[in-house]
């Protein structure tokens, strides 16, 4: 091909690119960017040090037999409570059938002060809005309450997988000193034995209990509660609260102590 023909071809290609750019030729980086709107808070009445930082991570938790895969992580100055931030990620890495979670932690120097992990709705489409309530990390040197056991307490369910209990008569859980549990699921009642040791906890796969007909809303909440209990692997007690977590440290259930 002659030199003049090559130069003409290059000129035409450059002209096409300029025309496409003028009419909004898509920017790949912009097209592939995803964003999560995350708001974090905590219930303790305490001020944060001036150097406090918020660490937010997007995790792929699809594989139960492997560690969670880190997809995105960003750090922000923790300027107040609550704090709202945006976490960016590569949308091309998202798969329709995968399970995802967001982990949020507050750090000061090399000390973790608060943390929580919550599962996500399906990514894609509208930008998810996440409200995460963090739990204080106990190092063992703080002045703790005398009773740190989960037994001998009536626990009322506040949230199941981040969803508040749907009415004013919440499900309740009680575990006695012999590790036998009694559960009111919102409609039906269940009993059984639970294994718990050194913050580890395991509920049975099948629950013995009543089989009453329940309103649809309560039946759905009760089913979610039982599924969450089956997936529980670890618990954290803080003050008058109790949280059950799965193998990825994702919060499944939030309880509050209920006076007898």
Which tokens is 66 given? 């492997």
Spatial distance between the Cα atoms of 252 and 248, rounded to a whole number of angstroms = 10
Enumerate residues 6+ apart whose C-beta is below 8 A from 50. none
CA 31 to chain centre: 26
pLDDT band at 26 (very low <50, low <70, confident <90, very high): very low
Query: pLDDT at residue 144 above 80?
Result: no
pLDDT band at 3 (very low <50, low <70, confident <90, very high): low
Q: Which of 52-56, 60-64, 130-134, 212-216 has the lowest mean pLDDT?
A: 60-64
- Considering the chain, what is the average pLDDT of its residues? 81
> What confidence score (pLDDT) does residue 170 get?
92
Q: What is the CATH number of the domain that holds 93?
A: 2.60.40.2990
One domain, residues 238 and 158: yes
User: pLDDT digits over 82-106, tens only?
Assistant: 899 999 999 888 888 788 888 899 9
Under 8 Å between Cβ of 54 and 85: yes
Q: Which of 104-108, 113-117, 138-142, 249-253 has the lowest mean pLDDT?
A: 138-142
Residue 16 in domain: no
Residue 231 in domain: yes
Q: What is the CATH number of the domain that holds 186?
A: 2.40.128.270
Which tokens is 141 given? 């040197």
- Among 104, 136, 168, which residue terminates a domain? 136
Percent of the chain with pLDDT over 90: 35
One domain, residues 116 and 201: no
Residue 21 in domain: no
Residue 98 in domain: yes
**Residue 27 or residue 35, greater confidence:** 35
Spatial distance between the Cα atoms of 249 and 233, rounded to a whole number of angstroms = 8
Q: Mean pLDDT over residues 206-230, rounded?
A: 93
Spatial distance between the Cα atoms of 44 and 233, rounded to a whole number of angstroms = 25
- Per the document, the length of the chain is 260
One domain, residues 169 and 249: yes
- Residue 233, exposed/middle/buried by CB under 10 A (0-12, 13-18, 19+)? middle
Q: Could you tell me the residue range of the domain that residue 193 belongs to?
A: 153-257
Total of domains in the chain = 2
One domain, residues 124 and 171: no
The model's pTM is 0.56
Residue 6 in domain: no
Residue 116 in domain: yes
One domain, residues 129 and 159: no
Residue 160 in domain: yes
Question: What is the CA angle 113-138-227, rounded to 5?
Answer: 95
């Amino acid at each position: 091909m002659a030199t003049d023909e090559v130069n003409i071809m290059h000129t035409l290609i450059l002209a096409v690119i300029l025309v496409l750019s003028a009419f909004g030729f898509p920017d790949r980086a912009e097209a592939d960017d995803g964003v999560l709107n995350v708001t974090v808070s905590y219930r303790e009445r305490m001020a944060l040090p001036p150097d406090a930082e918020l660490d937010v991570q997007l995790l792929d938790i699809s594989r139960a037999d492997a560690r969670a895969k880190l997809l995105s992580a960003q750090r922000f100055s923790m300027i107040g409570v609550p704090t709202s931030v945006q976490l960016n990620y590569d949308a091309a890495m998202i798969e329709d059938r995968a399970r995802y979670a967001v982990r949020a932690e507050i750090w000061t120097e090399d000390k973790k002060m608060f943390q929580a992990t919550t599962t996500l709705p399906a990514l894609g489409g509208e930008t998810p809005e996440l409200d995460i309530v963090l739990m204080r990390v106990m190092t063992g040197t703080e002045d703790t309450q005398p009773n740190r056991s989960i037994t001998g307490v009536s626990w009322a369910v506040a949230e199941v997988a981040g969803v508040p209990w749907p009415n004013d008569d919440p499900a309740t859980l009680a575990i006695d000193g012999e590790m036998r549990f009694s559960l009111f699921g919102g409609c039906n009642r269940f009993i059984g034995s639970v294994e718990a040791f050194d913050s580890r906890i395991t509920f049975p796969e099948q629950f013995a209990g009543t089989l009453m007909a329940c309103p649809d809303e309560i039946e759905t909440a009760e089913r979610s509660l039982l599924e969450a209990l089956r997936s529980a692997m670890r618990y954290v007690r803080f003050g008058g609260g109790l949280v059950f977590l799965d193998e990825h440290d994702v919060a499944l259930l939030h309880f509050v102590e209920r006076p007898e």
